Structure 1
């Protein structure tokens, strides 16, 4: 839209020479903008997102879904010459410029990143809905937009063009990722290995944790991870699958142990490899790490629980207990006017109450997916009404809920809502300020973090060191005879109410003597898409930690032309998933009650 005369080079993605020839022909023009321009020279091939040519002055623009505060941005380079999480993007552009300069030595190439600007504010409603992602027969991602759409329809720009010439020059001059080679030598090193089909074996270490070629080897599917490790360590694939040092939860020392001392597996570690610090009545971080190592090495599958500390913690809670979970969205292109890229939108919550006599009530829920509505202020009003029904303790799982109410606090400060002061006081009563807040508070009913309760008092080898609710819930179900007995019965028989499941629904099912995770019982929100696939699809977006399925569902519901039937089915799915999220917290609480008694 911002380059209306631009020409896209599409099709035959495998035919590098044809793509380069089409680009070269277009570049004969004095002034031109090309999308996906292709360059091929000396067996080096690149595509450029946006190339804007005016004579010999060239703008090389790399488009990313990441965001930036453009007003305050100065440089991606830190004081040590590193580039943090931007390294891969900047090296990508550095390679593009290198190849382009080989093709056209006389060009003056200026490099930019095109990013969502978190300082910009959308000036029109429905901006996000104007662009729909689609996939064509060539498996390329495309965009569908209204034929009548004009640049004026977009309102004020929400994207920023960030000059990265300093960073690209730094890479070309110093090659900070490999100080033993110049940038050109590094390019030629990769080129030689690619042309000669020579495998590059990078020394194994802590970085292998993020290997993109890791899969379960099968006769028809190889795992690059296993090939690399078996070649360098001369071990069988079975031994390679032994628990790794980098799998130890929150263990900062794993990088040094793996990269410098070649202690790749947990069975190589002892207490001496940890800086063990004990904490009275709790499982300290280092003690937790030692427990994980010892249980793995001894093939001990029993949970470890700091029972007295857990009992004291539970005794400090005030009944009735309130368990809440939020579903939120933060997208690059805002849904509504007055919002910034990746600004938090809170569109759903679920609220379970556990009474002292053991009754469990799905007390309330909120869901607003109406197109064009900014739901946050109605969301917080509904939450206020729900939680003020009693004075009991409030529980969340990890930081998300506290982060969201802090975000709504800031939004209220810039609003004209008639009950702003009342809502601000409510937020302060159930939360504490985050680090970037201009105010300081800690509420009388500050939400208790059930994740921290798990971390402080409970470890189960079944979780593989993870404290996420999707790991802890199956572990608790696997260990608890109480939960297995209770939740294998229908809702009507277990002193539980539900707003979204029928009375004869059973949350716990068995398959080949194995407990099925309750989340697996629910149908996916979208046909042919698992939650894991949705998480991977949005993994590079800013501000997104989890909840991919709900985020995509909310975005989909913003399109007004969706059929009522499809809209209602997605809403039903969202309500069930969110209810299960708070019920999962209740189940973990019930398990803890079981073990302390």
Structure 2
């Protein structure tokens, strides 16, 4: 049996531009890979599967090459290219070592037009959208442009008899959706073998597609710039052709391309998590570092410069050979105060390093400023959390691509006597519904009955309420309570920097994320300010919280009122540590791997909420039973409730810490 040919594809080329060494690890089951296994979950989250199939609708009458077999796809493409005029979806083009599947390829005589579809928004009115002031390509566009440049390069090599033009096809920021329910006409379905695909509704009409909400952008100039090496790419030692040849040759031969240790290593997916090496998986990242640095297994137990929070100098330090956190000096960080209360970013960085170097696991607390901050809060205290998404294809006529959708919130209250209650929640998963105004109405009902302080964790809630404010202002329809809703939003937010109208509300939300950064540091968070790290840390350090929540009082008749939990015990101890409360929640989805669920649930400091937005997208676009939908709804409600309960427990932990400090 012949071995499958090892082609350099566009996805492998993209991987190699991130780090050439990754080519050796990709696709090998013996190496751990922390990326999602289910590519459709990624496409669901950003609307990629819908955008790809919508794009085909703007090129009607095309031939869709569905086979995954390389040779079959190449033969079918070659047969279709014999026609004088033809449109091909997923056209297969190859040379000896290179292979691409073009999203859309249009042939007219001896001209080929390549269209690479991206789930990304584009402003066609922007001046020089891809270019920096010095003429190089903006970093945010490089991966997209390198992708299409690679495809054009392969086509030119394989089919030199044609003139090729390259385009990106993206969501048009200036366009508005022509009809209601357009995105519901692109559904995710499974075949008998469990393979997922998109089903386009037979009810799709010309009215749905006119005017288009995707735009075609010619990028031949940018491709030429990449080929000429004037794009500002980091690797100027090799030309584009040399890089492609290097990647293709090494991938075909399955030979590793060594890469130096750099800041890129922090984003490497080929690493092992707890227990994976014991189960036989290999860490590509460890292999690289051992080869480059001569490290032994013992060295990997030490944190590195990459683990220092928000540290901009890590690249220069790595180049100088300073890798371990234990080797950093105060001169490397230069900690200095800023003009704000609490600790500055540089002081916090040095605090993290110093505590590690001294083996100091004690909590650092700016007692005076935290006490002053907490004394200014007005009871009852309101803790809120939003779950949101941005949909590529709008739900309603008149809406723009990637307008935000706020579909869920949770709300806890802490009263002056210390009693806690899960006071309210909102969840709208109705297919094709635009929930934003009802969302704000429900939030207003929850918060307008008193003047208590309102808390968020990070800037996400403020950003989204600003966005809904702009939607309300711009909406041409009659909205009877428009002014009341806008006044409410202004009262609890502050205007974002680029807003024409500026305000700071009299009940402007308190950002607990900022309080963590300025007044509180626990070495157990490893420098992270994410609520998913801060919560376990404070639960492990607070005897008060452990005593209170080790009892099943949450959702109990005489305990803390809850809308989704009954007789729940938040604190459970395993191996001397508090079990992360998020790991005790029911699995959001029963049909995806534990690994993918963990990746979706991993939360960064900006609260992306990957699991929640993926759940929402699945309920919008997948064919599933009422039972499956209800189980996902229940899980969503529990996850969001924990987000605000986590804020409550962090507040209670701070209050307890201050009391302890005062007693000492």
- Normalised-by-shorter TM-score class: over 0.9
Contact 1:535–1:546 at 8 Å: present in 2 too?
Answer: no
1:478 aligns with 2:534: no
Match of 2:30 in 1: none
Deviation at 1:530, TM superposition (A): 6.6
CA distance in 2, matches of 1:358, 1:530: 40
Classify 1:241/1:164 alpha carbon distance in 2 versus 1 (closer, same or farther; 3 Å).
farther
1:397 aligns with 2:461: no
Match of 1:465 in 2: 527
Contact 1:49–1:62 at 8 Å: present in 2 too?
Answer: yes
C-alpha offsets along residues 49-81 of structure 1, whole Å, 9 cap, x if unaligned?
Answer: 111110111111111112222333633121231
SS at match of 1:330: strand
Deviation at 1:545, TM superposition (A): 5.7
User: So what's the TM-score if we normalise by structure 2?
Assistant: 0.84
1:92 aligns with 2:155: no
Match of 2:124 in 1: 70
Match of 1:304 in 2: 364
SS at match of 1:161: strand
Greater mean alpha carbon deviation, residues 364-373 or residues 430-439:
364-373
CA distance in 2, matches of 1:26, 1:150: 27
Match of 2:608 among 526, 532, 546: 546
Deviation at 1:596, TM superposition (A): 0.5
Deviation at 1:148, TM superposition (A): 4.5
Match of 1:369 in 2: 429
SS at match of 1:48: strand
Contact 1:535–1:548 at 8 Å: present in 2 too?
Answer: no
Contact 1:307–1:596 at 8 Å: present in 2 too?
Answer: yes
Classify 1:431/1:531 alpha carbon distance in 2 versus 1 (closer, same or farther; 3 Å).
farther
1:510 aligns with 2:573: yes
Unaligned stretches of 5+ residues in structure 1: none
Contact 1:39–1:103 at 8 Å: present in 2 too?
Answer: yes
Greater mean alpha carbon deviation, residues 182-191 or residues 57-66:
182-191
Match of 1:577 among 639, 643, 660: 639
1:119 aligns with 2:174: yes
CA distance in 2, matches of 1:158, 1:488: 53
Which aligned pairs between 1:269-284 and structure 2 lie closer than 5 A?
Answer: 269-278=328-337, 282-284=342-344
Match of 1:174 among 225, 229, 233: 229
Contact 1:230–1:240 at 8 Å: present in 2 too?
Answer: no
C-alpha offsets along residues 564-596 of structure 1, whole Å, 9 cap, x if unaligned?
Answer: 433333222222221111111000000000000
SS at match of 2:403: coil
CA distance in 1, matches of 2:515, 2:452: 17
Match of 1:51 among 96, 105, 108: 105
Structure number with the bigger relative contact order (C-alpha 8 A, sep ≥ 6) is 2
CA RMSD of aligned residues (A): 2.4
SS at match of 1:485: helix
Match of 1:313 in 2: 373
C-alpha offsets along residues 392-412 of structure 1, whole Å, 9 cap, x if unaligned?
Answer: 111000011100110110011
Classify 1:138/1:35 alpha carbon distance in 2 versus 1 (closer, same or farther; 3 Å).
farther
1:162 aligns with 2:217: yes
CA distance in 2, matches of 1:558, 1:12: 28
Deviation at 1:500, TM superposition (A): 1.5
1:190 aligns with 2:244: no
Match of 1:110 in 2: 165
Classify 1:560/1:524 alpha carbon distance in 2 versus 1 (closer, same or farther; 3 Å).
closer
Which aligned pairs between 1:287-366 and structure 2 lie closer than 5 A?
Answer: 287-366=347-426
Match of 2:441 in 1: 381
CA distance in 2, matches of 1:207, 1:78: 22
Contact 1:486–1:494 at 8 Å: present in 2 too?
Answer: no
1:525 aligns with 2:525: no
Classify 1:196/1:572 alpha carbon distance in 2 versus 1 (closer, same or farther; 3 Å).
closer
Match of 1:27 in 2: 81
C-alpha offsets along residues 142-186 of structure 1, whole Å, 9 cap, x if unaligned?
Answer: 212234534444453211111111110100112642222221122
Classify 1:149/1:255 alpha carbon distance in 2 versus 1 (closer, same or farther; 3 Å).
same
CA distance in 1, matches of 2:601, 2:563: 30
SS at match of 1:558: helix
SS at match of 1:96: helix
Match of 1:268 in 2: 327
Deviation at 1:285, TM superposition (A): 0.9
Match of 2:34 in 1: none
Aligned length: 589
Greater mean alpha carbon deviation, residues 2-11 or residues 214-223:
214-223
CA distance in 2, matches of 1:513, 1:241: 20
SS at match of 1:344: strand
Unaligned stretches of 5+ residues in structure 2: 1-56, 660-664
CA distance in 2, matches of 1:182, 1:372: 48
